[in-house]
Each structure stands twice: as structure tokens, then as C-alpha cells.
A and B are shown apart, each in its own frame.
Chain A
Amino acid sequence: DAGVTQSPTHLIKTRGQQVTLRCSPKSGHDTVSWYQQALGQGPQFIFQYYEEEERQRGNFPDRFSGHQFPNYSSELNVNALLLGDSALYLCASSFNYRAGEAFFGQGTRLTVV
């Protein structure tokens, strides 16, 4: 079992550009949540996908969007990148959005210059 996998591991983008991050959930999991973790902070919830639909959304602007595919994998898209978007982006998967336990991927370190 490969667990939760994310790609790429590191990324450098220029302010104003767009970025797409990818996540494959743990085998048997159908729910994917995305988090932003700034340096020295706890993960902040961005949104959650289940059955290819966004179920819940945290306090993030519309520049942050996502998608879930029929195989449960997911993408996070960020448009018009700002310097403040630099962070570790974590994906977590769980079985059923009602479940408590979530498994995290290793994250994508995004640096906006």
C-alpha cells in the first residue's frame, strides 16, 4: 500500500502564475482533503472532495480550486499566485467524509518568488 502520494514534492513559481498539485489517496479511501501549512503553523483546511464534489470549504479565496476524479485522485489549483501562497500543501485521505481518521501525504512545498 503506497499510502497517500503527492506530486510534485517541490515547486517554484513566479507571482501571478498558476499551479496544479496532485494527490492520490490511500487505497480504499474515497475522500480527499487539502490543507495549507505555513512555516511554523498547523495545517489550515482548504477544501474536501467526496464523490467528485467539493463538500466543504475553508476560508480560502476562489483562487483556490480543486477537482476529484472518478479514481478518487484529486488536484488542487491555485491561480494568480501571491508570495503569501508559499507553503507546504498537504493532501489527506479518509474513508468516507464522515470518518475521523485521515492519512496525510508528504506534501508539496510551493515557493512563490
Chain B
Amino acid sequence: GENVEQHPSTLSVQEGDSAVIKCTYSDSASNYFPWYKQELGKRPQLIIDIRSNVGEKKDQRIAVTLNKTAKHFSLHITETQPEDSAVYFCAAQTASGGSYIPTFGRGTSLIVHP
């Protein structure tokens, strides 16, 4: 099955700095890569996603890049703000029996210091 590795497990930055979280996946058939933000005690919320036919996608301060050959994808957050502090999960989604089931990374705890 799919295996997703996520690094780093903890990332501490100063407000205004950029943050980068990296994930690798093992199944070359994976074709959808969502990123979720989970604040303490709250539900995971989709913040950006990318499909395998696209190399990069940007939404305001957030961008995701995908390298299919190397099987890795990254989340980039620019001009970080304290409210960006949360746990971020990457996922790789593979069709299994017709269903698209995501495999999640273990998460990155992002701490943005004011």
C-alpha cells in the first residue's frame, strides 16, 4: 500500500518567515495530494490540493509543488502569521477498487512566534 513520509515533525519560525513542509510517497499511482490544517481540538481542514497533472498550485500565501518523478510534494507558506500555527498533514490519494483513499503523513506541528 501507499506510504507517506512527512518532514519535519516540528517547525518553529518567526512571524513573517517562510515555512516549508515536505512529503514523499511510495505509490506512483497516487494522483491527488491534499494538505490539511488541524488546529488544536478542531477538525482537519483542506487548505490546498494538487493533482498529478499539475506541477505547482498557489493560493495567496500558500503554494504546493509536486515532483512526480521523485515522488515528493511540498507545502510552502510565505509571510507566516501566528494564526498559521497548527498541525499540517499531507496526504497521497490512490485509487483502490475504484475508491480514492488518502494515506496521511504523521503531521508537522508549525509554530509561528510573534
Contact = CB atoms under 8 A, between A and B. Distances in A.
Contacts, number: 63
The interface size bin for chain A is 20 to 34
B61 interface: no
The binding surface of chain B is classed by DSSP as strand
B interface residue count range (under 10 / 10 to 19 / 20 to 34 / 35 or more): 20 to 34
A65 to B, nearest CB: 18
Contacts of A99: 100
B51 interface: yes
The interface residues of chain A, by DSSP majority, are classed as loop
B106 interface: yes
A70 interface: no
Given A4-B43, A43-B44, A100-B93, 11 more contacts: A33-B101, A42-B4, A42-B89, A42-B104, A55-B99, A56-B101, A90-B43, A101-B34, A102-B34, A102-B46, A105-B43
